[in-house]
Amino acid sequence: MFSKKCHALLEEKLGANKVLLTTSCTAALEMSAILCNIEPGDEVILPSFTFVSTANAFILRWAKPVFIDINEDTLNINASLIETKITEKTKAIVPVHYAGVSCDMDTILDIGQRYNIPVIEDAAQGVNAKYKDRYLGTLGQIGTYSFHETKNFNCGEGGALVLNDEQYIERAEIIREKGTNRSKFWRGEVDKYTWVDIGSSFLPSDILSAYLFAQLEYMDEITNIRKVIWDFYYSNLRLLEVKELLRLPLIPPWCQSNYHMFYLILPTEDARDDLMNFLKQEGILAVFHYLPLHTSPVGMKFGYSIGDLPVTENISRRILRLPRYNDLQHHEQEKVIELIIKGFIS
Ligand SMILES: *Cc1c(COP(=O)(O)O)cnc(C)c1O
């Protein structure tokens, strides 16, 4: 069973209490919402600068998203704004580790502990990255990973649920097995399996797990390849940052990145669009992402409007992501760098 091999490898390598592979990070987030007994009207704290699944998983259980602005430097949730948004109804805090760079976890875990609210890390982009000396996804009560084809380690579509708090383990196995105690049956703990809770089909096929396992065995090697690509962008584009023409990603000293992404922050939206179009003409696809969730049609239905989260809105207009995948060739990367510099200097 390759799924079991993946579980064992991740538990051992990351020092996670229990890891269960899922069909996606979206599925792992949905399982987290069920595990935390989210009920209609409950509130969940999360950044607006994230992928829709971070919010959807909780909205599916009729929670209200309470969006918090991000820090200008790491583009992660601004931990100092969380406490002011906590109410009687707050049932989870969901930090997202953007680009494989960790949130300010000491502050977030401290708030969670003081108010007795579970912290669910959306570590979709953070597999094999660290906060201080611990792996992302293993710090909160629950963590979620993505093995989608756009992520560092992938099996096309896939993810994992990381259960750091014992209390969730038994129920998580049931929810993942369509609400049955089939896992107990396989282990010989019950003599027949039956329907015991709500659940769904959150298990990936073992074929995908085999595909994933081959990469998990080389997690550090793959991360190193990504570091080389990241460093090459950084060292060559640094001169544009020194000239204050753009800003490069920041990795704070307490964080060990997995180099998931390389992005630029341009001074204005126009400058971003100009550079993006220039690269496109030259056959290079640089893209931006995260139209803020709070200004999306769904976000507006929850009563948010433009202007509510100024840093999020501002960054989402100025960010540009550069091409980066594990087998990006050196000469291709040189070409991208050359064109970006040309785009500024000419
Ligand atoms: C990719 C991503 C997800 C969703 O992952 P899937 O495995 O595609 O469901 C969720 N949150 C963040 C921050 C992501 O980057």
What is the tens place of the pLDDT at every residue in 172-225?
999 999 999 999 988 999 999 999 999 999 999 999 999 999 999 999 999 999
User: Which residue's alpha carbon is at the smallest distance from atom 1 of ligand 1?
Assistant: 124
Q: Residue 45 pairs with which residues in a beta bridge? A: 66, 93
pLDDT at residue 333 is higher than 80? yes
Longest Cα separation, the chain: 74
SS (HEC) of 243-298: CCCCECCCCCCCEECCCCCCEEECCCHHHHHHHHHHHHHCCCCCECCCCCHHHCHH
Is ligand 1 within 6 A of the CB of residue 146?
Answer: yes
Q: Is the CB of 54 under 6 A from ligand 1?
A: yes
175's CB contacts (< 8 A; 6+ apart) are: 31, 34, 35, 197, 198, 199, 200, 202
97: exposed, middle or buried (C-beta count within 10 Å: 0-12, 13-18, 19+)? buried
pLDDT tens for residues 282-313?
999 999 888 999 999 999 999 999 999 999 99
The Cα 190–Cα 167 span in angstroms is 20
Query: What percentage of the chain reaches a pLDDT higher than 90?
Result: 94
Q: For residue 96, which atom of ligand 1 is closest to its CA?
A: 13
Give, for ligand 1, the residue of 51, 120, 263 to mutate: max count of ligand atoms closer than 8 Å to Cβ.
Answer: 51
Which SS3 state, helix, strand or coil, does residue 204 take? coil
pTM: 0.97
Q: In what side-by-side order are the strands of the sheet with 134-135? A: 134-135, 130-131, 255-256
In whole angstroms, what is the distance from residue 298 CA to residue 321 CA?
Answer: 25
For ligand 1, atom 14: residue with the closest CA: 124
Which residue among 53, 258, 290 has the greatest number of ligand 1 atoms within 8 angstroms of its CB, and so is best to mutate? 53
Q: What is the dihedral of CA 129, 131, 134, 136, to 10 degrees?
A: -50
| C-beta 124 within 6 A of ligand 1 | yes
In whole angstroms, what separates CA 138 from the centre of its chain? 13
Per-residue pLDDT tens digits for 223-240: 999 999 999 999 999 999
Q: Quote the radius of gyration of the chain (alpha carbons, Å).
A: 21
pLDDT at 264 over 80: yes
Q: At 328, is the pLDDT very low, low, confident or very high (cuts 50, 70, 90)? A: confident
Q: Looking at the DSSP assignment, which residues form a beta bridge with residue 55?
A: none
CA atoms within 13 A on the CB side of 182: 11
CA distances from 207 to 55, 149, 157, 218 (A): 29, 15, 12, 18
- Test site for ligand 1: of 122, 127, 157, most ligand atoms within 8 A of the Cβ: 122
- 75: pLDDT strictly greater than 90: yes
* Closest C-alpha residue for ligand 1 atom 6: 25
Euclidean distance between the first and final Cα of the chain, in Å?
Answer: 57
CB atoms within 10 A of CB 112: 23
Instruction: Render pLDDT for 103-145 as a digit per residue (tens, 0 to 9).
Output: 999 999 999 999 999 999 999 999 999 999 999 999 999 999 9
pLDDT of residue 178: 96
Q: Does the C-beta of 333 come closer than 6 Å to ligand 1?
A: no
Q: Is 22 in the pocket of ligand 1 (CB under 6 A)?
A: no
Q: What is the pLDDT of residue 345?
A: 74
